[in-house]
């Protein structure tokens, strides 16, 4: 995937930055799927009609991307809370509908921005209506649900993508390229650190957060899943983990973990460590680092949380470079709205890749099966913390029946 190409496409739609500029000519246009009615886009391509389900914190990143992409129209949004849907629709220039009605509008693609445990029901409903579906991370909170979602989409011939927008940072792409072109060699040692700040009110504001049943886990499931995804994208299939977790800041409000450490063993023989917490004040952002068989190391740092990660270590013989993420001093902790808002350009890149994949009838950059790999690692991490022993990473294949 060429990130620069996707950026050019965003700019071609008149947006300097995702969310900045509403796309002109929003009148009825020809649907990509049905091919009927209205006008074609100026390049003759039919327009992709998009919807957003779940109008909470992250949904605006999806709505603004659909609104700004040149070949895409944000048609409708839906939420179980009609007031939320109404406000959101007014803000982004879409029709407010209910989850039951939205699939009657002839959408081509839909983003699922609802809480984790509802992803399965909404994604399978989209598949049943033949609507291509882009689901927020984590794909689900248990592998059985993930397998059913993948199966439903495959059976319906519907494309399933899952949001892991941190893969679209140029720094992530550069590390992946350095693995592919042999600069690093096969990755053998990795590290992911996720050292974040959350107020306890973050967990108490929404009833679904902080319980095993509805959140599926704590910092590992909801925040570190991005960095675990990067780690496995760089290092390959994980086979065994050993994990320990606790809740030492938010424990009075949540039953899940706010802090965890773990080791991971990969099929290649490579090893990695993970440290994750939402108990820091101030937060220190995230890092992912990989050392290859050549001995060379590359690392990226996201500081403050939500900003574009930069390569902070490039320890390749002859090309050594290092940059401290804290060079400008420590920043104040940001609000969740600021963190989510600053992720929007990378949501926009992944959403542009997804709509292009739908149009070109190819796989998106992150498929449901790819997203299930981080969930499989999470499943083993929680099993290991519960058993006190190393646990094997389960294979998704065992969950899929056909
Ligand atoms: N990619 C990222 O960086 C990122 C960032 C934030 C959140 N997320 C993910 O996005 C998802 C939503 O997170 P959030 O923080 O926006 O949550 P939120 O609680 O702020 O919003 C969820 C919205 O979905 C609505 N909803 C609940 N069940 C629904 C259903 N069945 N149908 C329709 N609407 C429903 C709620 O009323 C609410 O408005 C989570 O899975 C989360 O992990 C991803």
- Ligand 1 centroid, distance to 209 Cα (angstroms): 11
User: Residue 34's pLDDT is what?
Assistant: 56
Q: How far is CA 164 from the centre of its chain?
A: 3
- Ligand 1 centroid, distance to 273 Cα (angstroms): 29
Beta carbons of 17 and 43 less than 8 angstroms apart: no
Q: Using DSSP, state whether 301 is helix, strand or coil.
A: strand
Could you read off the pLDDT of 184-233 as tens digits, one per residue?
999 999 999 999 999 999 999 999 999 999 999 999 999 999 999 999 99
- Please give the Cα distance from 352 to 106 (Å, whole number): 20
Could you read off the pLDDT of 46-103 as tens digits, one per residue?
899 999 999 999 999 999 999 999 989 999 999 999 999 999 999 999 999 999 999 9
pTM: 0.91
Beta carbons of 50 and 72 less than 8 angstroms apart: yes
Q: Please, what is the Cα angle at 234 between 117 and 163, to 5 degrees?
A: 30
**Which residues, judged by CB distance below 6 Å to any ligand atom, belong to the binding site of ligand 1?**
53-59, 78-81, 84, 99, 113-116, 118, 122, 136-137, 163, 165, 206, 222, 340, 343
User: Residue 9's pLDDT is what?
Assistant: 38
Which of 64, 115, 140, 208, when mutated, tests ligand 1's pocket best, judged by the most ligand atoms within 8 Å of its CB?
A: 115
- Ligand 1 centroid, distance to 59 Cα (angstroms): 7
Which of 51, 57, 343, when mutated, tests ligand 1's pocket best, judged by the most ligand atoms within 8 Å of its CB?
A: 57
Structure tokens that stand for 301 in this block: 């740092």
- Ligand 1 centroid, distance to 53 Cα (angstroms): 9
Domains in the chain, please, with CATH? 3-164+351-367 (3.40.50.720), 166-334+371-387 (3.30.360.10)
Instruction: State the Cα torsion 99-102-107-110 to the nearest 10°.
Output: -20
Q: Is the dihedral of CA 328, 330, 335, 337 positive or negative?
A: positive
Give every CB contact of residue 357 below 8 A, 6+ residues apart in sequence.
159, 161, 363, 364, 365
Q: Using DSSP, state whether 290 is helix, strand or coil.
A: strand
Nearest protein Cα to ligand 1, atom 5: 58
Q: Which atom of ligand 1 is nearest to 165's Cα?
A: 1
- Please give the Cα distance from 160 to 153 (Å, whole number): 6
Structure tokens that stand for 68 in this block: 């700004």
Q: Which of 122, 65, 85, 160 is nearest to 367 (CA)?
A: 160
Give every CB contact of residue 301 below 8 A, 6+ residues apart in sequence.
285, 286, 287, 309, 310, 312, 325
User: Residue 249's pLDDT is what?
Assistant: 96
Beta carbons of 216 and 349 less than 8 angstroms apart: no
Which of 18, 51, 58, when mutated, tests ligand 1's pocket best, judged by the most ligand atoms within 8 Å of its CB?
A: 58
User: Residue 396's pLDDT is what?
Assistant: 83
Matching residue, tokens 């940001």: 334
- Ligand 1 centroid, distance to 58 Cα (angstroms): 7
Residue 190 half-sphere exposure toward CB, CA atoms < 13 A: 33
Q: Which atom of ligand 1 is nearest to 163's Cα?
A: 1
Beta carbons of 162 and 155 less than 8 angstroms apart: no
- Ligand 1 centroid, distance to 61 Cα (angstroms): 12
Distance separating the N- and C-terminal Cα atoms of the chain: 30
User: Residue 45's pLDDT is what?
Assistant: 66
Regions of the chain where pLDDT drops below 50: 1-29, 36-42, 401-402
User: Residue 46's pLDDT is what?
Assistant: 83
């Amino acid at each position: 995937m060429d990130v620069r190409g996707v950026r050019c496409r965003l700019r071609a739609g008149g947006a300097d930055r995702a969310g900045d500029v509403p796309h002109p000519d929003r009148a009825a246009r020809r649907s990509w799927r049905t091919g009927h009615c209205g006008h074609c886009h100026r390049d003759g391509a039919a327009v992709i009609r998009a919807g957003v389900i779940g109008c909470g914190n992250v949904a605006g990143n999806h709505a603004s991307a659909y609104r700004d992409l040149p070949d895409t129209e944000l048609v409708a949004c839906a939420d179980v809370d009609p007031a939320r849907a109404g406000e959101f629709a007014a803000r982004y220039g879409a029709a407010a509908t209910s989850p039951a009605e939205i699939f009657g509008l002839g959408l081509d693609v839909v983003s699922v921005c609802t809480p984790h445990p509802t992803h399965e029901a909404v994604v399978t409903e989209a598949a049943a209506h033949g609507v291509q579906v882009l689901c927020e991370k984590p794909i689900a909170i248990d592998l059985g649900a993930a397998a059913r979602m993948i199966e439903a989409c495959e059976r319906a011939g519907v494309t399933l993508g899952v949001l892991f927008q941190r893969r679209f940072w140029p720094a992530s792409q550069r590390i992946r390229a350095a693995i592919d072109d042999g600069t690093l060699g096969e990755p053998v040692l990795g590290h992911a650190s996720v050292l974040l700040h959350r107020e306890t009110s973050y967990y108490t504001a929404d009833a679904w957060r902080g319980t095993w049943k509805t959140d599926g886990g704590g910092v590992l499931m909801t925040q570190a899943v991005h960095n675990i995804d990067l780690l496995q994208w760089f290092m390959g299939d994980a086979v065994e983990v050993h994990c320990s977790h606790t809740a030492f800041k938010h424990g009075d409000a949540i039953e899940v973990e706010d802090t965890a450490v773990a080791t991971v063993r990969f099929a290649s023989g490579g090893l990695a460590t993970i440290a994750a917490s939402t108990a820091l004040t101030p937060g220190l952002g995230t890092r992912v680092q990989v050392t290859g068989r050549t001995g060379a190391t590359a690392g990226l740092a996201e500081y403050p949380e939500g900003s574009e990660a930069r390569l902070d270590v490039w320890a390749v013989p002859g090309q050594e470079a290092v940059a401290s993420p804290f060079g400008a001093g420590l920043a104040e902790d940001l609000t969740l709205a600021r963190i989510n808002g600053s992720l929007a350009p990378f949501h926009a890149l992944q959403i542009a890749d997804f709509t292009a994949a739908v149009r070109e009838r190819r796989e998106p950059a992150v498929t449901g099966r790819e997203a299930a790999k981080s969930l499989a690692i999470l499943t083993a991490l929680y099993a290991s913390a519960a058993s006190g022993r190393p646990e094997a990473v389960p294979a998704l294949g065992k969950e899929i029946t056909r």
